[in-house]
Amino acid sequence: MKDVRLALLGSALCVCLFPSAPGAQPLETEPVEGEILESEPVETAPLIIVTATRLDNPIVDVPAAVTVIEQSEIDERNLTLLEQALQGVPGVNLVRSGGLGQQTSLFLRGTNSNQTLVLFDRIPVQDPSTPNGAFDFGLDTLAGVGRVELVRGPGSTLYGNNAIGGVINIIPVVGGDNPVNVDAELAYGTEATLSATATARGTVGDFDYGLTFERFSTDGYNIVPADSPGNLGEDDGFQSTALTGRFEADLTETVRLDGVFRYRNSDTDIDNFGTDDPNFRLENEHIAWRLGGEVDWWDARMTARLDVGQSIYDRASLNEPDEFSPSAFPGTFDATTTFVNGQNAFDVGTIGPADDVRLLAGFDYRRESIDVDFFGELSDAQETVGYFGQVEATWWDRVTTMAQIRYEDAELFDEETTYRLGLSVDLDEIDSRVYAAVGTAFRAPTLAELFADGGNPNLQAETSFSWEIGFETDFDLFGRSDGITLAATYFNIQTDNLIVFDFEEEELSNIGKAESEGVEAAVTIRPIDALEGTLSWTYTDARNAITGERLERRPEHILAARVTVEPTEGLQITPEVLFVSEQSDFGDTTTPSYTLVGLSANYAFTDQAEVFVRFDNLFDEDYENPNGFVGRGFNALAGVRVSF
């Protein structure tokens, strides 16, 4: 590999001399300035997101399908776990191989579970010590999360590795209306489930902060099917403790500093290949931190930003030989990702018919190292550095265009060049917009895929080409301009060089191909202010492009429905339904379809306090997802939430 450190030094120098985009932060909608008559509805500014372009953009101008889960929705639905918030999102299928806290994989738009990039406020949090580098969605709770931004479609041009299916960015809360704002929650439920959280946040002069403590524990349930000879009646528990902090500080009118820190420690009971094993468990410690700063130049038309940070995993599997398992299967898995990101933005302004022209350029440096001792030792590292650019412009006050490109220079695989082009057209006359995008992405081989037993040091990156087209439209019904909202997107993803095991060569090889196409559609109805209902449908046809067979764990249909009703002041009730059609699974098996019904309710008896309850799998449906792992039966959680 070329001298990465020299390239890094040169890129960092560029960041100090040229501009960069503002840092990612949740921005609530606010009233538009200006006089508002009493009889007029309050007009709100459009929702701003940052993940899709690394710049602050109104969501309506982004040429991509984006889902934003705000803290208000998390509280209204009484969600506790990250996987709960993502279940039912268009394009998403979640598969948990066990009980709470066990490996939970996300398949986005039919792509593999290791082809979606996950960020924690700009920090890449994939675990390099896992065999395929997939993020585990089963370990994180939602306390202190301000919002989750999910951008579907290729994201490698801005973020590099792993972003074939899309990018998920988890952003913690920061700041408040007062110097000290405290939010606390205590809940207890079935399976001896306990959830306790406390968040302190506020604004003191030019300093914003947020600090969250969270504790979650459950005795769990038995994940081994009742008809299995390995079912010994042993429940599989899970417990997690986490501390998250975030701050933003204006040092001067043009210089800002911000950072985030997260510590999480979890302990999960697991079983031994379909057989109950009371003393088999996994310990997982994760530390993530980032420190960033930005400087404005030329009346804030230019901004320079630099971020540094790490994501550190320390995992262990612990099992002593006993009557249930004669072998111990001990193992330790340590991994560290160190990164340096710089980006430069320039607000050009108007050029001919193009308004709001903005340029973005930057670099990402990343070093991944692992130290694994599990049926053999593996200790290795790799470095990559990527350079990216982006141009945005608005034409004729209605067409927003975006062009992105990236060059990735890697130490252990060939260089990759990716791009993404998109446009969004505002059809204000009919309260609609249409958008389209085309792009490429890649997923690099992990260190385990390169150097572990059965690995192949000659592996190259998996690559994809995808395109999508979609629309959103509001209908003036029920006396309001958005009485009904319709949205739909068609997508197509073709992936080459998939890393699969070649049984003839007895090693991993780039011989797989896949194609996934589908439709994401949703309708939202708002007949009165106190009632809103949404029905979403995802159709996915994901196949092995060589054999034509459907890919495992990609259901053809997923339907999600949710209704929010406020029958009286202070009371909110939200029923939810999730249907997942049958799906093929490994070993030439089929997972039957299932339907889960949930219900949550909140009652605020003061402005500062409310009680809540959430029921999941209300009718105690028997299901497995995936095969061999019993899904969670009826469960309930009730508690109190206060703020002051």
- Which spans in 343-392 are helix H? none
Which pLDDT tens digit goes with each residue over 572-631?
999 999 999 999 998 889 999 999 999 999 999 999 999 999 999 999 999 999 988 999
What local confidence, expressed as pLDDT, does residue 44 receive?
Answer: 56
Cα separation, 602 vs 75, in Å, equals: 9
Q: How far is CA 116 from the centre of its chain?
A: 8
Q: How confident is the model at residue 413 (pLDDT cuts 50, 70, 90)?
A: confident
- Find the mean pLDDT for residues 552-565: 97
pLDDT at residue 43 greater than cutoff 70? no
Q: Percent of the chain beyond pLDDT 70?
A: 92
Residue 528 is classified by DSSP as E
What local confidence, expressed as pLDDT, does residue 326 receive?
Answer: 67
- What is the rounded average pLDDT for all residues in the chain? 90
Among residues 258, 244, 215, which one has the least CA distance to residue 120? 244
The residue among 517 and 506 whose pLDDT is bigger is 517
- Find the mean pLDDT for residues 182-202: 97
What local confidence, expressed as pLDDT, does residue 551 receive?
Answer: 96
Give the number of C-alpha atoms closer than 13 A to the C-alpha of residue 458, restricted to the C-beta side.
Answer: 4
What local confidence, expressed as pLDDT, does residue 330 receive?
Answer: 81
Q: How far is CA 203 from the centre of its chain?
A: 27
What local confidence, expressed as pLDDT, does residue 588 receive?
Answer: 86
- Find the mean pLDDT for residues 305-314: 98
Which pLDDT tens digit goes with each residue over 265-299?
999 998 877 788 888 899 999 999 999 999 999 88
* Local structure of 10: helix, strand or coil: helix
Q: Which domains does the chain have, with CATH numbers?
A: 4-30+42-420+427-432+446-454+568-576+583-643 (2.40.170)
Run of H or E including 602: strand 594-604
How many helices (H) and strands (E) the chain has is answered by 5, 33
What local confidence, expressed as pLDDT, does residue 277 receive?
Answer: 83
- Find the mean pLDDT for residues 533-550: 97
pLDDT at residue 300 greater than cutoff 50? yes
Give the number of C-alpha atoms closer than 13 A to the C-alpha of residue 370, restricted to the C-beta side.
Answer: 25
